[in-house]
Amino acid sequence: MIGGFIVEGPGPKRVIIRAIGPELTQYGITNALANPRVELHNGSGASIATNDNWQTTILGGIISSNQVSDIQNSGHAPTAASESAIIANLPPGNYTAIVRGVINTVGVALVEVYDLSPRASSSLVNISTRSFVQTGENVVIGGFIVQGTGIKRVIIRAIGSELTQYGITNALNNPRLELHNGSGALIATNDNWQTTILGGIITSNQVSDIQNSGHAPTAASESAIIADLPPGNYTAIVRGINNATGVALVEVYDLN
């Protein structure tokens, strides 16, 4: 599983990146990844940090000292010792967090990025996850949190066919996107971004806004939703039409 994020602004951004597995069992996930390992790569693809078991710091790259105390004090320490975490002070740029199972084990896992310096001059302006979309409960689920006191305007995208230009041979041809609020209620949906599906928080045609956002999908079969969201927790779910499977990307861009 590959999670991407973008730091924008004039200064560094302090974040914690987590790879969660066993903790998911309390939410009914029976096939959670028992021992996830996380790698952090910069925009050029170079590995700049890695961790396996958050209570043991792996020195190297941008990690120059023991991080256990900082992770414990961050408010985001994993609950299982076998889960992984990295704290990083990152200059503006593109970053990728890769989660693998130790000894090639498989299972359901969560890759996350939390902003530890929300008052800094730089911002997290994008977060994305690329993974294999299956059927039933084994779909791709992207979560994000809006903080603050005001409304945040975002675009959420479900990308499939566009991935073929990056060497993905089994891309999901026709991804469908759902947006849920913190209580789990469905508040918006889209299948094929050039056709707006009215309902929930979507009250007017969005095609022009998506085109003007700078983040319009390249394939008509891909999906997108623009939403003005109050502070809270949100979940974007990507499924294949007619239970199709394949690799897809779910992502959120900050339009403010």
pLDDT (0 to 100) of residue 138: 87
Compute the average pLDDT of residues 153-180: 96
Closest CA to 19 of 45, 42, 49: 49
pLDDT (0 to 100) of residue 120: 86
Closest CA to 24 of 101, 110, 111: 110
Beta strands in the chain (DSSP E): 2-8, 13-20, 36-41, 47-51, 84-90, 93-101, 110-115, 123-133, 140-146, 152-159, 175-180, 186-190, 223-229, 232-240, 246-254
pLDDT (0 to 100) of residue 148: 87
Q: Tell me the sheet residues that pair with 129.
A: 3, 250
pLDDT (0 to 100) of residue 119: 85
Q: pLDDT band for 139, please (50, 70, 90 cuts).
A: very high
Rounded to the nearest 5°, which phi and psi values hold at 42?
A: -90, -175
Quote the pTM value: 0.90
Q: Tell me the sheet residues that pair with 16.
A: 87, 114
- Which of helix, strand or coil describes residue 87? strand
* Average pLDDT over all residues of the chain: 96
Written as six digits, the tokens of 226 are 């623009």
pLDDT (0 to 100) of residue 182: 95
pLDDT (0 to 100) of residue 256: 86
Determine the residue type at 7.
V
Written as six digits, the tokens of 193 are 């971004």
Q: pLDDT band for 238, please (50, 70, 90 cuts).
A: very high
Report the chain's terminal Cα–Cα distance, integer Å: 28
Compute the average pLDDT of residues 127-145: 92
16-67 pLDDT, tens digit per residue, is 999 999 999 999 999 999 999 999 999 999 999 999 999 999 999 999 999 9
pLDDT (0 to 100) of residue 118: 87
Q: Are 247 and 222 in contact (CB under 8 A)?
A: no
